[in-house]
Amino acid sequence: MEIRTEIEINAPAEKVWKVLINFPDYGSWNPVIPKIDGMPYRGNKISFNIQAAPGIQIPIMACEILVADSAQKELRWKGPAIPIAGDILSGEHFFIAEAKGDKTRFVHGEDFTGLAAPMLKPLLEQRLTDSYNEMNRALKKRCEG
């Protein structure tokens, strides 16, 4: 099951990429993932907090960076979507900054697998689509500002 969002950013893909991989700066602009520990290099482990609701952050631990490709402007990590392990529910989160001249088509989503994915599809689609779009708008504002 895939959740996919997109936004056009009036900035070059290189600028969008630099903001996206600057994990230490997330707290200054990202309302959805206000904190990431780790570095955006393939094979590295990262942990981060997701802002689930005002005043409520959920820690996500031990996600592995699968892709951190500066040429293709693609960042992917895999880890549990919620703190449930194994084949029950897992997510592969992705970001792609696709150059469109002096603009960028930013694609942001997640591929879910596991036994619970079909049952949770309506809930995940509603909640995560809203969150991903919120982050996309914040990234757009940061890159255009």
Q: For 128-145, what is the mean pLDDT?
A: 96
Task: For residue range 16-69, list pLDDT tens digits in order.
Answer: 999 999 999 999 999 999 999 999 999 999 999 998 778 888 888 889 999 999
Contacts of 132 (CB under 8 A, 6+ apart): 3, 5, 32, 108, 109, 110
**Higher per-residue confidence, 5 vs 81:** 5
Structural domains in the chain?
2-144 (3.30.530.20)
The C-alpha atoms of residue 30 and residue 47 are separated, in whole angstroms, by 15
Numbers of helices and strands, H then E, in the chain: 2, 7
- 100: its two tokens: 């469109």
Task: For residue range 54-107, list pLDDT tens digits in order.
Answer: 888 888 888 999 999 999 999 999 985 444 555 788 889 999 999 999 999 999
Mean pLDDT value across the chain: 91
What's the confidence (pLDDT) of residue 85?
A: 52
Q: For 123-142, what is the mean pLDDT?
A: 94
Contacts of 122 (CB under 8 A, 6+ apart): none
Q: Report the share of the chain in percent with pLDDT over 70.
A: 95
Q: For 112-123, what is the mean pLDDT?
A: 89
- 118: its two tokens: 């079909």
> Is the overall model pTM greater than 0.85, yes or no?
yes
Q: Per-residue confidence at 139, pLDDT binned at 50, 70, 90? A: very high
What's the confidence (pLDDT) of residue 46?
A: 95
Q: For 1-15, what is the mean pLDDT?
A: 97
